[in-house]
C-alpha cells in the first residue's frame, strides 16, 4: 500500500504542465468532460475531521455513503471533486505553486468543467455520482495562499460535491465522463 500511496502522491503533487499532471483547462461553464480524455488523477482519503488528506492509488465508492475509509460519509456531500485545470488556473492567478491536495477534495479529475452542473451525473469508471452543488472555497484556502479563496470562486473552480448513486472501485487513470 505504501507504494500505491507514493505513486498517488507523486501524481497529486506534480507541477502544472508536467508529464504527471497532463494538460488541459477547466473550460468555461459548458460542463464538458472532454471526448473520452477526462481522467481521475488523484484520490485522497481523510481519516479524521480536519485531518490530513492521505493519497491512495485506489479506493472504493459506496452507494449512498461516499468513499470507504473516509471520515465524511453520508448526507449530500458524500464525495468532493476538483478539476486539475481549474486548480492550476486559480493558483497561477495568485502566483503560487500549490499541490491540489491543499483544496481537500477527495477526487482530482482532469478535463471536467463543473460549472453549473448541479443534478448532472458524472461517471468515473463504473461509479456514478450525482453532483449536488458547488464546493464553496473556505477560509482554509486563504491560509494556504492569500487570494486563493477569491481565485477559486468564479465558475465553480473550487469544485463540486455529490452523492454516490452507484459505487465500485476507483483507480488512478480511470475514465471520467458526464452521462447524457
pLDDT tens readout for residues 49-96:
888 899 999 999 999 999 999 987 788 899 999 999 999 999 999 999
Instruction: Provide the CATH number for the domain around residue 48.
Output: 2.40.33.20
Least confident range from 21-25, 79-83, 97-101, 171-175: namely 21-25
Q: How many domains does the chain have?
A: 1
150 occurs within a structural domain: yes
**SS3 of 61, please?**
strand
Write out the E strands in the chain: 39-46, 53-56, 58-62, 66-67, 79-83, 107-110, 121-124, 127-134, 160-166, 168-171, 176-178
Helix (H) / strand (E) containing 86: helix 84-94
pLDDT at 75: 85
Question: What does the pLDDT average to over 125-152?
Answer: 93
Domain that holds residue 59: 2-12+30-178
How far is residue 106's CA from residue 86's CA, in Å, rounded to a whole number? 15
pLDDT tens readout for residues 100-126:
998 999 999 999 999 999 999 999 999
20 occurs within a structural domain: no
22 occurs within a structural domain: no
pLDDT at 91: 96
25 occurs within a structural domain: no
81 occurs within a structural domain: yes
pLDDT above 90 covers a percentage of the chain that reads 67
**SS3 of 82, please?**
strand
- Residue 76 phi/psi, 5-degree rounding, is -90, -10
> Where does residue 51 rank: exposed (0-12), middle (13-18), buried (19+ CB within 10 A)?
exposed
Amino acid at each position: 500500500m505504501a507504494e500505491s500511496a507514493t505513486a498517488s502522491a507523486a501524481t497529486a503533487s506534480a507541477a502544472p504542465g508536467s508529464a504527471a499532471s497532463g494538460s488541459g483547462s477547466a473550460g468555461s461553464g459548458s460542463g464538458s468532460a472532454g471526448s473520452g480524455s477526462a481522467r481521475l488523477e488523484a484520490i485522497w482519503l481523510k481519516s479524521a475531521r480536519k485531518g490530513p488528506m492521505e493519497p491512495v492509488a485506489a479506493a472504493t465508492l459506496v452507494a449512498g455513503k461516499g468513499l470507504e475509509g473516509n471520515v465524511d460519509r453520508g448526507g449530500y456531500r458524500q464525495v468532493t471533486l476538483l478539476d486539475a485545470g481549474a486548480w492550476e488556473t486559480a493558483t497561477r492567478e495568485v502566483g503560487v505553486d500549490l499541490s491540489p491536495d491543499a483544496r481537500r477534495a477527495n477526487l482530482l479529475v482532469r478535463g471536467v468543467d463543473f460549472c453549473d452542473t448541479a443534478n448532472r451525473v458524472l461517471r468515473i469508471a463504473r461509479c456514478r455520482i450525482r453532483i449536488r452543488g458547488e464546493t464553496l472555497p473556505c477560509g482554509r484556502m486563504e491560509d494556504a495562499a492569500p487570494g486563493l479563496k477569491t481565485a477559486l470562486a468564479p465558475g465553480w473552480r473550487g469544485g463540486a460535491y455529490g452523492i454516490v448513486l452507484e459505487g465500485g472501485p476507483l483507480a488512478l487513470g480511470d475514465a471520467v465522463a458526464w452521462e447524457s
